[in-house]
Amino acid sequence: MHIGDAVRAAFRGYRSRPSGVLPYYLLGASTAALVQTAWLVGVAAAYLTLSAQGNLAPIREELRAIGPVQIDDPASYEGSTAGLEAAAEAAVTPELLAVFAATGLVAIVVSLLANAVVGAGQVHAVYGVLRGRDPIRAGVEGIARDAVTFVALLVLQLLAMAVVIGVSIGGLAAGLGAGAASALLAFALLPALLVALLAVRLVFLFARQAVVVDGVGAVAGVRRSVGYARSNPADAVVYLLVSLGVLLVLAMLSAGLSSVGMSAVGSPIGLLVVFPLLAFVKTALYAEHATGRMPQSPKARGTIRERLTDEFRRGAAALRRFVVARPLLQAASGAVFALGGLAGWRFAAGVDGVLQASITARLAGWFPPAAFLNLAANNWQVGVAQAYAGFLGGIPTVASLLFNGLFLGALARIEVDPVELLTFVAPHGVVEIPGLIVAGAVGLHLGGVGVRAATGRADRADLASAVARAYRILIGLALVFLVAGAIEAFVSPYYAGLLGI
């Protein structure tokens, strides 16, 4: 099978069962909530460290001394901040640095491990589609079977990259200290380093597919990935370069969208389209190599428009059923969110009159179409992360709800014109906030499923059903956040003025 055949198989497979694969890519997006949880714990530890060392009070005093600062435009402040800078420098103790270093390390490790584990579900789901199996069940079984192996692959790849980078840095340092000629040779190592890193990437490129298709361990997976590259060098190199090019284009697109106020739009394009299609192409290439043939996935039925309409209709129905069936979970989610809001309000009392926010300043340069897409995409991604992260006992979901409540409560406390803020938030808030609360309730529900699975009271069929049900509800919530985004972009900034409020 050549790249062109693999691409055709990928599009056919993706079109036939997108709802069987996308839940695992949305599950990968929940990494954001896990990292957020780590940083919340870290910030709390830093706050306690500053308080215990007596370094928080001087910072507060200096903040009060410099007067109100607009957080929406801090560059507009024209007074001296020398005292604040000195107090902040004095607060940077070894203990505080250790807290932030530990937090950063934990966040990185959590992110890498979570992506590796979810990657097992993603590749198994893709291969399940290509084999005509139930991809949701295949993904759950794949995580149970190969999560540790995928983590081992990650460790091996990081070690290989560390060795390559370490050798290159050592050669560069030696060259710089041995005269001009050696320095030139050392700088010649830079392109060699790039080539070496690409070679490492090529060695591991098909290792995950080998683990899934051949049912082998991490070391054997790497060997078979190398074997594929040796047997099919053109396809391997072309796929590597094409995938890197696609990711570069996606990065440039995301940067372009960010420059026009749509920073949240690029991520869903990657999650819902680019990453699944790349996985389909890679898995199709390796599966044909390993088995000698490629089982054809079922042909998609109906037009794209008909299938999208059906997806949203089913999502709305699943959302409605969940809201009706789980009122206590929604009450619990709302209570956590409200508790975060109250805590944010009380915490911001310490900087009330020192830091100021202005909804008028934030609306400067408001462009409704761009704001609509950005708000809808951002809120939906928050809901997705909040929901699927709940599998870890619901803890990341609770942390996300608390964080969002803290942010809104603190922002409301330091707003210079609370009435104007309320008139802005009210129209879309009555849609957006319940949507986030329902997403939190989904996360709490999945937390219960995760706990039951860990204690042996739920099997893989229960987990697969929970993954699929959560996906449907999140599709329904996408409609909610589209409505909320449209109101916030096109109505909230203007209606109060039109009504003379």
DSSP 277-342: HHHHHHHHHHHHHHHSS-PPPPPP-S-HHHHHHHHHHHHHHHHHHHHHH-HHHHHHHHHHHHHHHH
* Residue 179 reports pLDDT greater than 60: no
Structural tokens at position 61: 């005093």
Structural tokens at position 441: 């309730």
* pLDDT (average), residues 65-86: 75
What would the pLDDT profile of 145-155 be if each residue is shown by its tens digit?
999 999 999 99
The rounded mean pLDDT for the chain is: 89
* Residue 359 reports pLDDT greater than 90: no
Which backbone phi and psi does 191 adopt, to 5 degrees? -65, -30
Q: What is the pLDDT of residue 388?
A: 96
> Which are the contacts of 350, defined by CB distance < 8 A and separation ≥ 6?
60
Per-residue burial over 38-62, b = 16 or more CB atoms within 10 Å of its CB, e = otherwise: bbbbbeebbeebbeeeebbebbeeb
CA neighbor of 472 nearest in space, from 165, 136, 176: 136
Per-residue burial over 447-466, b = 16 or more CB atoms within 10 Å of its CB, e = otherwise: bbbbeebeeeebeeeebbbb
* Residue 418 reports pLDDT greater than 70: yes
**Dihedral sign for Cα atoms in the order 62, 68, 71, 74:** negative
Helix (H) or strand (E) holding 29: helix 18-29
CA pair distance 268, 432, nearest whole angstrom: 19
The larger pLDDT score, comparing residue 266 to residue 60, is at 266
Which backbone phi and psi does 69 adopt, to 5 degrees? -120, 130
CA pair distance 129, 298, nearest whole angstrom: 8
Structural tokens at position 56: 């928080």
The larger pLDDT score, comparing residue 462 to residue 2, is at 462
The angle formed by the CA atoms of residues 103, 392 and 39, to the nearest 5 degrees, is: 20
Lowest-confidence region among 39-48, 50-59, 351-360, 464-473: 351-360
If DSSP codes are grouped into helix, strand and coil, which group holds residue 478? helix
Task: Answer for the pair 294, 1: CB distance below 8 angstroms, yes or no.
Answer: yes
Q: What is the pLDDT of residue 486?
A: 96
Output the CA–CA distances (angstroms, integers) from residue 263 to 176, 230, 275, in the order listed: 41, 40, 18
* Residue 176 reports pLDDT greater than 70: no
Binning pLDDT at 50, 70 and 90, where does residue 361 land? confident
Q: What is the pLDDT of residue 445?
A: 97
Q: Which residue has the tokens 């957020």?
A: 36
Binning pLDDT at 50, 70 and 90, where does residue 70 land? confident
CA pair distance 224, 209, nearest whole angstrom: 9
CA pair distance 123, 209, nearest whole angstrom: 7
Which backbone phi and psi does 92 adopt, to 5 degrees? -80, 85
The larger pLDDT score, comparing residue 72 to residue 12, is at 12
Output the CA–CA distances (angstroms, integers) from residue 2 to 230, 238, 398, in the order listed: 15, 10, 47
Q: What is the pLDDT of residue 442?
A: 97
The separation between CA 424 and the C-alpha centre of its own chain, rounded to angstroms, equals: 28
CA pair distance 281, 273, nearest whole angstrom: 12
- What is the 3 state secondary structure string of 240-261? HHHHHHHHHHHHHHHHHHHHCC
* Residue 352 reports pLDDT greater than 90: no
CA pair distance 239, 241, nearest whole angstrom: 6
Lowest-confidence region among 266-275, 347-356, 386-395, 440-449: 347-356
CA pair distance 336, 463, nearest whole angstrom: 25
Output the CA–CA distances (angstroms, integers) from residue 89 to 86, 268, 322, in the order listed: 5, 40, 51
Chain length of the chain? 501
CA pair distance 22, 475, nearest whole angstrom: 11
- What is the 3 state secondary structure string of 75-101? HHCCCCCHHHHHHHHHHCCHHHHHHHH
CA pair distance 318, 332, nearest whole angstrom: 20
Q: What is the pLDDT of residue 127?
A: 95
Alpha helices, H only, 131-206: 135-176, 180-204
Task: Answer for the pair 381, 485: CB distance below 8 angstroms, yes or no.
Answer: no
Give me the residue spans of the domains in the chain.
3-37+96-291, 303-499
Q: What is the pLDDT of residue 173?
A: 65
Which amino acid does the sequence have at 305?
R
pTM score of the predicted model: 0.92
